[in-house]
């Protein structure tokens, strides 16, 4: 997947409530729209990047424009809330086969 798009990364969006992961689009917003169309709520969606050739903490990067949400106290492209980062990490570990 990574080789077909960005070379070293795969974009993904995680629904932390429904424990779903949408992967492989040019934009995080495309994956976000897909999940919204299928019953997800905006407040539960977080954009990440996956680096298949990396391991450990370097495999998952919390970075996406869809994460900028002042209304949820997230003012950056990252995921500032540690509890949400942990949920994302657990969901990805359970859903993404490596």
Tell me: the pLDDT tens digits for 34-74? 999 999 999 999 999 999 999 989 999 999 999 999 999 99
Determine, yes or no, domain membership for 3.
no
Question: pTM for the complete prediction?
Answer: 0.91
Determine, yes or no, domain membership for 1.
no
pLDDT band for position 98 (cuts 50, 70, 90): confident
Rounded to whole angstroms, the Cα distance separating 8 from 56 reads 16
Residue span of the structural domain in which 15 resides: 10-95
Determine, yes or no, domain membership for 4.
no
Determine, yes or no, domain membership for 73.
yes
Determine, yes or no, domain membership for 2.
no
**Rg, the chain, Cα only:** 12
Determine, yes or no, domain membership for 24.
yes
User: Total structural domains in the chain?
Assistant: 1
Number of Cα atoms under 13 Å in the Cβ half of residue 51: 12
Determine, yes or no, domain membership for 91.
yes
């Amino acid at each position: 997947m990574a080789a077909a798009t960005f070379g070293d990364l795969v974009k993904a969006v995680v629904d932390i409530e429904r424990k779903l992961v949408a992967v492989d689009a040019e934009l995080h917003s495309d994956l976000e729209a897909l999940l919204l169309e299928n019953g997800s709520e905006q407040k539960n969606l977080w954009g990440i990047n996956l680096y298949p050739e990396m391991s450990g903490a370097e495999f998952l990067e919390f970075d996406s424009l869809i994460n900028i949400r002042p209304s949820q106290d997230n003012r950056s492209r990252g995921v500032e809330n540690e509890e949400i980062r942990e949920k994302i990490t657990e969901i990805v570990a359970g859903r993404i086969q490596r």
